[in-house]
Amino acid sequence: MLEVERLRKTYTTDRGGVHAVEDVSFTVEDGRFYTLLGPSGCGKTTTLRCLAGLERPEGGVIRLDGRVLSGEGRFVPTYSRDIGMVFQSYAIWPHSMVFQSYAIWPHMSVFQNVAFPLEVSQDRPSKEEIARLVKESLALVGLEGLERRPAQQLSGGQQQRLALARALVRKPRLLLLDEPLSNLDAKLRQRMRIELRELQRRLGITTVYVTHDQAEALFLSHRVAVMQSGRIVQEGRPRELYASPASPFVADFVGDATFVPGEVVDGGVRALGGVVRCALSEALVPGAKALLVLRPERLLVHPGATGGPNEFAGTLRVAAFLGDHLDCVVEIGDTVMRARAHPAAELRRDQKVWVELPPDHCLAIPDDGWRPRALTRTFEQDTE
Ligand code: ATP
């Protein structure tokens, strides 16, 4: 089990101290995939670097299986931490040194890349054992048979797999991954994230992952911590974060949402020219200011009124065909929201429509004033 307690890291710059990580605490149970998710500069990489021993935190404790890696007057160097890692621009080997490098070493063969961490380790295995471990590791990531190939002659996806094989070859207790898929094109990225998920589940290796990509975080993780300005602002299972975000920032970061401000009334929120029936987060009492979080995939656009609860009339501005649904933009008074319609629906731009907001999927949370960038009101895309 990995335990991080009240971690703090400040960088000193000419312009003063940058509080990169402030009071960060979390626990990763054995075999779990844990993701630090947040926008650029929120402190994810610094946290991971502290776990790796590449940064010396000035406060807090890091423990792996009860052993203190950092804090309480101790600091275990990277090479003694029993971790494997794939950072975007570093390759690190236990019992050796830290090299600034690409995720892989292009001038070495596939075999040499994977064998290297074993060859430089203090308890260097025999030649035969190295060959066996390299073979095993390459088989894990589906690169068997490519041992002699120069690493630079691998495809992007194969290079990522090679980086993983190298990180895993010493069978570390903890795997640290910092945006390992970010250099891949969209299709390959999707395929690789399935592979990574399967591999992690199969090996049951405790993993900490860093990304700013919410879909990747939700897809891969058992638990996700959302970071903002050096702090964890919410932590939970992907489903919990998505369905019950604690703040507008989290709601926006883990998925698409339209935010509608209003005032809490009994069983709902006064907004959109009526009362929207919805779930209310605990902190909300009648009279409080609230923000409705409306996920586009839960909102249904109908060409006519159906007479159901929570139905609001508006004007359709965009209806783009996306195969399994029409992705719509609807104006209701001052509110511009995204919603979905049946792919076969006959809809015309600027026609009157009704948007159904299923009460079970509408949530109101306290309005702390934070807002994402507004959806544009210039509708250039034609309705199909
Ligand atoms: P990204 O997704 O862009 O990598 P991040 O969430 O991983 O961002 P960090 O790299 O941890 O963020 O940076 C957190 C803060 O610390 C930022 O304000 C960053 O500018 C600052 N920072 C990071 N490394 C250093 C450094 N070596 N010296 C000074 N400031 C730093």
Reported as a single tens digit per residue, the pLDDT across 283-337 is: 899 999 999 999 999 999 999 999 888 999 999 999 999 999 999 999 999 999 9
CA distance 220 to 209: 9
Please give the Cα distance from 317 to 352 (Å, whole number).
10
Atom 16 of ligand 1, residue of closest alpha carbon? 20
Instruction: Give me the residues of the chain with pLDDT under 70, please.
Output: 88-103, 373-384
Beta partners for residue 163, in sequence order = none
CB atoms within 10 A of CB 132: 12
Q: How many angstroms separate the CA atoms of 221 and 234, rounded?
A: 15
pLDDT of residue 21: 97
Å from CA of 18 to ligand 1 middle: 9
Determine whether the shortest distance from the Cβ of 43 to ligand 1 is under 6 A. yes
pLDDT for 173 equals 95
| 225 in contact with ligand 1, CB cutoff 6 A | no
Give SS3 for 223: strand
Gap from CA of 45 to ligand 1 centroid (Å):
7
Q: Residue 99: what pLDDT?
A: 44
Amino acid at 165: A
Distance between CA atoms of 6 and 44, rounded to whole angstroms? 15
Cβ neighbour number for residue 219 with a 10 Å cutoff = 15
> Which protein residue has the closest C-alpha to ligand 1 atom 30?
11
CA of 16 to the centre of ligand 1 (A): 14
Structure tokens at 255: 């998925």
Does 142 contact ligand 1 (Cβ within 6 A)? no
Contact 170, 205 (CB under 8 A): no
Longest dimension (CA), the chain: 75
Query: Which tokens hold the place of 43?
Result: 């402190």
Query: What's the 41 CA to ligand 1 centre distance in angstroms?
Result: 5
Of 136, 168, 164, 156, nearest in space to 147 by CA: 136
From ligand 1's centre to the CA of 43, what distance in Å?
A: 6
198: number of Cβ within 10 Å = 10
pTM of the model: 0.88
In this predicted structure, what is the pLDDT of residue 95? Answer: 41
CA distance 313 to 272: 9
